[in-house]
Amino acid sequence: MRRKWYDGSMKLKIWDQSATWEESEKHWEEGALSAAQQQSIQKLSQLPKMVGITPDTAKFLKWKAFRWMLTKDVDQKVLPQFWKHPFKYGWRYLKSLFYKKGYTRKGDFFLYGFQTLEQFEKSLKNREHLFVLGFSYCHKPFECPSGRFTSECIHDADHPVCRQCFIGKSVHASKEENTILLFIPTVHYIAGKILEIVHANPKKKIIFLITACEMTLEMFSDWGNMVGIQGVGVRLDGRICNTLKAFELSEQGIKPGLTVVLDPAQKQMLEWIRIRRET
C-alpha cells in the first residue's frame, strides 16, 4: 500500500456535500502545498511570447482542418460516425464554412453556439443538459502517473502529482456522476467521443467545457458546429502548437513543452464547475 504523503487531517472529504466550496478548495490547496514538498513537478519558469497561430499556418486553415480530419482518421473514429447522419452533418458543416469565424471569442474563451458567457452559464444550470468536461493532454504534468499522451487520468487526490495538477483539481471539484470527463490525446479522439455521446443521447442537449490551444479551437470550429453541440473552448498558453508541423507532432504524442491554463481562466473554469455542481 502506498504511504500517504498528506500530513494533515483527512477528516474533510474533498468537495464533499457537507463542506462548502471555499472549505473544499482551501483543503485542496493546503494538500497541494504539502504535495510539492514531497515531490515537486516541473513548471514553466516563464510564459513564452508566442502568437496563437503563425501567419503562414493561418492561411487556408479551414481547408487544412478538412484535409486533416479526412486523411488522418486512421483509426476510423470520426468518419463512420459521420455516415450515420451524412446529410444533417454535411449541411451543418457547409453552413459553418460560410462564416468567417465559427465561434465568438471573449478573451481566452471561444464560444460555440453561444453569443455570451451568460448564455453558457444559464445552460450549465439546466440539469437536463449533459455536460462534457475535457482537457488536452499537453497540460498534464510531465510526471503524470497516467502518462501524458493518453486518454487516461487517475486524478488521485492522494497522489502528490495529481494534487498539484489543475486537471486533478478540476475533476475533483466537478460532480462526476453528472459530468462526462474526457482527457484528450488527439482531435480525432475528441471528435469521435463527442459523436458517440451525441448518438447515444439523441434527445439531450450537450454542452462542453474543453481546453485546447488557439490553433485547435480555430481550426476545428466548423467540425464542432457540424455536430451541433454548444460550449466553451478555453485557450491554452505556454508551449502551444502554433504551426501545423508542431500540431502534427503533438498529435503523435511528441510534445516536449508544457501548456497551461492562465490563472484568470483557471478561476473562471472553476467557477463554471462550481455553478454546474451546485445547481
- In order of 52, 93, 221, 239, 264, the CA distances from 214 in angstroms are 5, 20, 11, 12, 17
Q: What pLDDT does residue 2 have?
A: 44
The burial of 136, by beta-carbon neighbours within 10 Å (0-12 exposed, 13-18 middle, 19 or more buried), is given as buried
Q: What are 256's three cell numbers?
A: 516536449
Q: Where do the domains of the chain lie?
A: 52-278
Q: What is the pTM of this model?
A: 0.92
Give dist(CA 109, CA 220) in Å, integer: 15
Residues 6 or more apart whose CB falls under 8 angstroms from that of 142 comprise 41, 42, 148, 258
Q: What pLDDT does residue 10 have?
A: 45
Q: What pLDDT does residue 12 have?
A: 53
Give dist(CA 30, CA 251) in Å, integer: 35
Per-residue pLDDT tens digits of the chain, which is 279 residues long: 344 444 444 445 678 778 899 999 999 999 999 999 999 999 988 899 999 999 999 999 989 999 999 899 888 889 888 899 999 999 998 988 888 788 999 999 999 999 999 999 999 999 889 999 999 999 999 999 999 999 999 999 999 999 999 999 999 999 767 789 999 999 999 999 999 999 999 989 999 999 999 999 998 898 888 998 899 999 999 999 999 999 999 999 999 999 999 999 999 999 999 999 988
Which residue has cell 457547409?
94
Neighbours of 16 (CB within 10 A): 11
Instruction: Of 2, 1, 26, give the one whose Cα is nearest residue 14.
Output: 26
Do the strands 130-136 and 206-212 form a parallel or antiparallel pair, or are they unpaired?
parallel
Give dist(CA 124, CA 107) in Å, integer: 20
